[in-house]
Amino acid sequence: MKALSSKLKIVFLSTFPPTQCGIATYTQDTIKGITDVYGKSVTCEICELVDKPKAKPTQAFTLNTKNREDYTRVAEEMNADESIKLVHIQHEFGLFSGNYGDYLLDFLNVIKKPVTFTFHTVLPGPNNELRTFVKLLLNYSNSVFVMTNRSEEILINDYDIPKEFITTISHGTHVVVYEAPETAKAKLGFEDRTVLSTFGLLGEGKNIETGLRALGKIVENTPNALYLIIGRTHPNLIIDGVDTYREKLEGIVNELDLHDNVRFINQYLETDQLLEYLQATDIYMFTSKDPNQAVSGTFSYAMSCACPIVASKIPHTKEVLTEDSGILVDIGDENQFAEAAIKLLNDENLREEMGKNAFRKTRASSWENVGITHMNTYKKLMDKTYEIKYSYPSIQLAHVKKMTTELGIIQFSKISIPDISSGYTLDDNARALVAICMHYKLTQDKDDLPYILIYLDFIERCQKPKGNFMNYVDQHNREHIEQNEEVNLEDSNARGIWALGTVVSLGSLLPESITKKAAKCLLNSLKWAESIQSPRSIGFATKGLYLYHNTVPNLYVAAIINKLNAKLLSNYEISSTKDWKWFENYMTYGNGILPESMLYAYLVTNKPIYKKVALESLDFLISKTYKGDNFKVISNNGWYHKDSEPQEYGEQPIDVSYMIQTLNSFYSAFKNPEYKQKMKIAFNWFLGKNHLNQIMYNPISGGGYDGLEKENVNLNQGSESTVCYLTARLIMENLKLSESKVIPLMKAKTGVAINQ
């Protein structure tokens, strides 16, 4: 596999903004999804489809679809560019000239690059001529994307296209931070209204008149209903400045006296504005009347914004909209639309649950995940010698801050809404303290300091007179004896020591009052720390004690590190065999902390046995979690027991993060480049290199998803998963900076350059 000296190019034949059409927007969003995930090694260019000569071309290529000679010319231009590795044609009948658009064959006969298609329409029951033409198109590529299972079935059954030629992928959606409609309404001034909406380029096919006539009945039940009709009329339908379709809709509003209940937003909105309107929507009205409409982007976007939906029965809605996320009605039946909407308006709990279910269904089809699926197909078509690298998303603290109150970081989250009733734990606040300290070390952003103090104060608040800690505090800052006795307190206590050691290690950067408080807490915990027995607890405590000792050398601390790791070494000698180089007879969670603990013991004591076991156990862990360029988390579905096969699925972000942290420590100690490469492979798990090919974080907020299951991602973004993702991302940022040898490094908001 050779690395690229420059980015490879993928060219899209498509309409493109500022042209206002669904395919133009779809292509723009597809490209963004690909470049957000793979922009480090891939660039996408446009061959813009136009129907008349363009005075000033704005894209890399321009194809006048009505000029037959242009098809050959453009293909020859692409052939001349060696960096172009693939051409992706967005296909719709009517985009290309000729019979069924057969001018496109002139391009395909000349192009020498691999080709794939997206079929935006797949017509069922084709005549012989259409069937022959579609089969001919795919003979040039042996690859096509479609957006519904129904479209795939039609290609297989009606066109005799082999299944292996087809990549089926849902219409892409934008990632949003989930919020209740009431929150979104407040931003738009709709607090006192019940909002229904529809959007898109308006035209007869949208059948908005059905929604308006249904509204006449809906307002009898819900007088404050407001129907938002969002979008401009399709430009092709405005003739000599006359917008006949909009005038027709306005006539219905007048006829039914709905002036107070209808608002036309006659704009082509930017994506962020559109998503705000959709998030403020109580019910989305999808009124399309095209029974053969294969897919609808507007419908997909509404689902992704957690809109409960009342929808016409078209192939896309019938396939996707199950009864737990919306209601299907017959095309054009205003009475059914009204009855369905009234049912939802009268049941707030039903609307909320439907909205959440719609939101969950569309997370797999985020544009980032769509980009991953596209690239997995592209790699089968392109030259295999080119390495496609992941790009790292920007570092976001929004969700961490949203989860944090004056007391600490809240334990759980329902999707992206903090669940204050879940209370606070020492575990989570310790992890958050480590992560924000890392962020402060990287950026010296003064905004981090209040959060560092909140998490540190929580740890101090949890410390008991004997130096150990309680783990759980409820939302009212009250202790609960039962919960603090039920959990594994050794682990949480030891994580507290790790966090305190982390603060002390930043003594040259943090205010003295903060590091003194952390040092005092840590020193108070030493007597308790000597008695730790649990292997992982030994590991967490050792990490914190090592960070303290490395900053403030202390013979007592060094002696505790040695004492604890002698216990861990004894575990290893009891459990390990020729084929099982491990500290227990099973692997569970946080496995990397065990070899890491041995490493710190070696660095403090210089005893060869600690080094030997550290390296030996890490190699064994790597052998059980890496398969080529894939990282496989030890499953929490029964864990991995000696002399048995590992379980599948049930993968937790915390284990990926711990592995990256462990490898980072070993790389710092031994500079073995294999460790650095393994860190990148593990982090790619967050970026979509997992069995579902889905990202494991919210790119808008930095929230980390709670788990990777067999068929879905757990979209709750609790503090553990969010902080573990952030920790891993910060380590990779430091690695990236060290690789690029950025030595006037990152500038903080204060303008201070820091040396990483």
pLDDT in tens, 535-576: 999 999 999 999 999 999 999 999 999 999 999 999 999 999
Distance from C-alpha of 224 to C-alpha of 68, rounded to nearest angstrom: 55
Distance from C-alpha of 416 to C-alpha of 546, rounded to nearest angstrom: 35
Largest CA distance in the chain: 89
pTM of the model: 0.92
> Other C-beta atoms within 10 Å of 623: how many?
10
Distance from C-alpha of 411 to C-alpha of 424, rounded to nearest angstrom: 5
In DSSP terms, 473 is beta-bridged to 424, 479
Q: Does the pLDDT of residue 488 top 70, yes or no?
A: no
By the 8 A CB rule, do 487 and 472 touch?
A: yes
> Smallest Cα–Cα separation from 175: which of 348, 396, 387?
396
Q: Are strands 309-312 and 410-414 parallel, antiparallel or unpaired?
A: unpaired
User: To which residue do tokens 């490209």 refer?
Assistant: 31
Confidence class for position 742, pLDDT limits 50, 70, 90: very low
What are the structure tokens assigned to 620, written together?
């064994």
Amino acid 240: pLDDT: 78
Amino acid 486: pLDDT: 52
Q: Does the pLDDT of residue 332 top 90, yes or no?
A: yes
Amino acid 741: pLDDT: 64
Q: Which of 47-61, 543-557, 678-692, 698-712 bottoms out in mean pLDDT, i.e. has the lowest?
A: 47-61
Q: Which of 155-169, 202-216, 233-247, 678-692 bottoms out in mean pLDDT, i.e. has the lowest?
A: 233-247
> Smallest Cα–Cα separation from 246: which of 229, 270, 269?
229
Amino acid 479: pLDDT: 86
Amino acid 483: pLDDT: 65
Distance from C-alpha of 504 to C-alpha of 510, rounded to nearest angstrom: 9
Q: Burial level of 314, CB count in 10 A (0-12/13-18/19+)?
A: buried
Could you tell me which residue, 754 or 242, shows the higher pLDDT?
242
By the 8 A CB rule, do 486 and 477 touch?
A: no
Q: Burial level of 156, CB count in 10 A (0-12/13-18/19+)?
A: middle
Amino acid 659: pLDDT: 98
For residue 474, the SS3 value is coil
Q: Does the pLDDT of residue 204 top 90, yes or no?
A: no
Q: Which of 278-282, 288-292, 567-571, 676-680 bottoms out in mean pLDDT, i.e. has the lowest?
A: 288-292
Distance from C-alpha of 300 to C-alpha of 303, rounded to nearest angstrom: 5
Distance from C-alpha of 631 to C-alpha of 233, rounded to nearest angstrom: 49
Distance from C-alpha of 532 to C-alpha of 494, rounded to nearest angstrom: 8
CA dist list (Å): 472 to 137, 532, 647, 717, 731: 63, 20, 31, 19, 28
Amino acid 242: pLDDT: 82
Mean pLDDT of the 735-751 span: 58
Q: Burial level of 162, CB count in 10 A (0-12/13-18/19+)?
A: exposed
Distance from C-alpha of 23 to C-alpha of 410, rounded to nearest angstrom: 43
CA 573 vs. chain centroid, Å, equals 42
Distance from C-alpha of 57 to C-alpha of 70, rounded to nearest angstrom: 14
In DSSP terms, 586 is beta-bridged to 641
Amino acid 647: pLDDT: 86
DSSP state of 440: H
CA 9 vs. chain centroid, Å, equals 24
Q: Mean pLDDT, the chain, as a whole number?
A: 93
CA dist list (Å): 340 to 68, 327, 363: 50, 7, 25
| Positive/negative CA dihedral, 234, 237, 240, 241 | negative
Distance from C-alpha of 742 to C-alpha of 756, rounded to nearest angstrom: 9
The single-letter code of the amino acid at 112 is K
> Other C-beta atoms within 10 Å of 88: how many?
28
The single-letter code of the amino acid at 270 is E
Confidence class for position 237, pLDDT limits 50, 70, 90: confident
pLDDT in tens, 566-605: 999 999 999 999 999 999 999 999 999 999 999 999 999 9
By the 8 A CB rule, do 687 and 383 touch?
A: no
What are the structure tokens assigned to 171, written together?
């219409």
For residue 198, the SS3 value is strand
Confidence class for position 1, pLDDT limits 50, 70, 90: very low
Distance from C-alpha of 34 to C-alpha of 44, rounded to nearest angstrom: 8
By the 8 A CB rule, do 605 and 558 touch?
A: yes
User: To which residue do tokens 């949003």 refer?
Assistant: 176
Mean pLDDT of the 434-456 span: 98
